[in-house]
A and B are shown apart, each in its own frame.
Chain A
């Protein structure tokens, strides 16, 4: 009986839902694809974009799946004709607001050229949109075979903001979905940005519409990761990094002890961008400014590349063989002359477990001393 009380039918299949679940949640759990734009996990659904509308038997209008609770014996269709029609209209409207007609202009040589010239003028770049091929709106326009011709473009209301080292805010590509505002206020709780002005003038603003650098923003980049289009983009990788040219490798951040799971985006054997891994503890996609933007050291020209031996007060390059023999010989001699406890080893809170294990094994088994420590205290 209990099962029957929690039954929902989606596209002709019956599913059990949990108390407080939305239609979207039940669908996602059962691998039914309902497109979303404004919906951001771990936040309160706003239903702002309405791209996730579905047909619910008996309802007067289409309902947003992200904010409609599942209820008993509900019958839902996620891709019916009225649903598809509604989604196409929403996408057409979004494509007309600002600078978005990338997905569908490929076959129209004249307009495509004009579009790219506009991009060049506005962005200072002759390249494709920085998120071309990695854009939720583009994906949806392609999926629903919609182009930007239906409505006249609203034009570009606000200039781009690039007056900070990390994030470009390109308002011409903003679809006002509000995900960045939720990421900032409900996930990171930095409360730096909000929705400002009204109606056609609506804009995502920080601190009374000042640049991010003069606001409470701490550049965690949660908003960039949440942005489904090209409105918020990492400044350093913008136009330089194309997602189809990069590999993503999951690893653990090397800064503080939280151990955030992140993707290193690699292009030509260089780390060119970092994003958080969604859905995985401990950070569930969140990062801080250091984890997201502090990766330059990896490829720094100041990295040490060769063993160095000091002679007459200055370093010279050496081969590994020479350097290792010198170290082993010197440590061996000091151990012999002054005893094992005349040598100390500082291992590191920065290197791996395996490496720490090896360093302590070396200290105890090869040097025969317990003089090993690291900077836990410092």
Chain B
């Protein structure tokens, strides 16, 4: 997030899109709801499902799946045409406005309606409302990113925010809601193929030299590595021979699971380090038991870049160990000695080699967390990014055209499927399905379908349906719901026994290599 969670309550207008906030980020959703109910903020919701947040929205645009660039361009069309944009910001802090204007020109509200299905007048109202806000916050989640145009979608939202001068101010910003406790930290720490910690690029000679000196090593690899969605096909081709997987369960979370499973089985050697015998661990040659969050010291970085302490409350079970200790042991046995006295000592090394974490130490995190960038021990941290300038100087507008999703419905697969989470479970369910209470509330998979589609295909509530895509099929219980839009069904991806990701399309965004989980074509029939 460019801004903080608390900042949401400072916004005059909140544009929420691709986030089923009350289910996936319930505590954060309360900030939005309070802003609307008690602080006079207006909420614009853009979502293909009638999610709970629709009850709080002043304007709800119900777009067709995968048409986000179109409605965002449409809003910018209106804002530019009616001269509602922030001239000072655009002139002083951005480049590329002319190109943006040219592309936005053709996205008239009527043209956008023909793509997105959202009424032209609603789009105009939304554009005027957002542009008129003193502080307008954009909140988004995987409904924006998990598309073959995910990168385009995010850049388009950034365009919209810059156009209206909504960056670098309290209550504004472009705010992705991170879905996992430490996905921010995994990125910050260099758990990515192209960067060391603090997003320092591996292709940069100076950076590599610095890390080589710090780590006492030579010959650090200079070419960016494979992304997860590229590793799986390489495993399938047998050019990737071994995988070391720490605390991930790709055999439920990956797209097109049948293919992913075949690929992983093709590996010569698979090591899985986890707290449970997951679907992925079942396939491993060696399984290493690790401690969970309640059993270790450390830090997580949350969605607002706040680095916060994790503390040991109980002993890890049996012989299980801290993940870092296990990895250090493997390194040392491979002839690269790694040993640390404690997680605190690791953080000391992190702060030495990572400019954005340079001022972070356990002592400073005792009471509450600190937002990075925090470059020095006396720096208070940075709750709001880009207040004076962007890291690259001026913000660049990206003129982007709408591209339809990779897979379309046809006579054989006439319905769209979109996937996501539900409030009572988390990701692949490894943790939440150990709770009887959570299982009682959400015991099994379901397919959410609109009343009209249920009638059309002859389904009653609670009957079993077979859902098939070009890649596989599963069965799930029919749940008729007004939340569903006609022509689109929703299935949560938590349930391994009936995994939605057997259906999803592994088509990737060309830049982020994120799979298009949010759109694929399926057909429904009565389960045998």
Contact = CB atoms under 8 A, between A and B. Distances in A.
A326 to B, nearest CB: 6
B189 A357 contact: yes
Contacts, number: 473
Interface string B144-186: 0110000000000000000000000000000001111111111
A2 to B, nearest CB: 26
Interface in A211-231: 213, 218-220
A371 B231 contact: yes
A367 B4 CA distance: 37
Among B4, B194, B286, B349, the most chain A Cβ lie within 10 Å of the Cβ of B286
A46 interface: no
B286 A298 contact: no
Given A294-B426, A361-B338, A373-B231, A346 B180 contact: no
Contacts of B410: none
A218 to B, nearest CB: 6
A347 interface: yes
Interface residues of B, number: 151
B300 A252 contact: yes
A283 interface: yes
A349 B246 CA distance: 9
A124 interface: no
B254 to A, nearest CB: 6
B247 A351 contact: yes
A373 to B, nearest CB: 4
B114 to A, nearest CB: 31
A295 B436 CA distance: 11
Given A253-B181, A357-B350, A280 B193 contact: no
Sort chain A's interface into a size bin: 35 or more
Contacts of B183: 257, 349, 374-376
Contacts of B471: none
Interface in A315-336: 315, 318, 320, 323-332, 334
B286 A258 contact: no
Nearest to A377: B514
Interface stretch (A101-109, A196-204, A299-307): A299-307
Contact of A345 (B184, B215, B243): B243
Contacts of A240: none
Contacts of A290: 423-426, 432, 438
Interface stretch (A9-17, A22-30, A263-271): A263-271
Nearest to A293: B437
A188 interface: yes
A351 B294 contact: no
A259 interface: yes
Contacts of A266: 313-314
Interface stretch (B97-105, B324-332, B449-457, B478-486): B324-332
B286 A220 contact: no
Contacts of B312: 249
Nearest to A343: B242
A265 B185 CA distance: 26
B330 A327 contact: yes
Interface of A: 165-166, 186-189, 213, 218-220, 235-236, 247, 249-261, 264, 266, 269-271, 280-283, 286-291, 293-300, 302-310, 315, 318, 320, 323-332, 334, 338, 340-362, 364-378
16 contacts: A189-B30, A220-B27, A250-B311, A255-B431, A256-B178, A264-B294, A302-B434, A304-B281, A330-B285, A350-B247, A351-B186, A352-B300, A355-B324, A360-B197, A366-B335, A370-B223
Given A266-B313, A353-B347, 9 more contacts: A256-B181, A289-B26, A304-B277, A318-B286, A343-B240, A351-B246, A360-B189, A362-B338, A365-B331
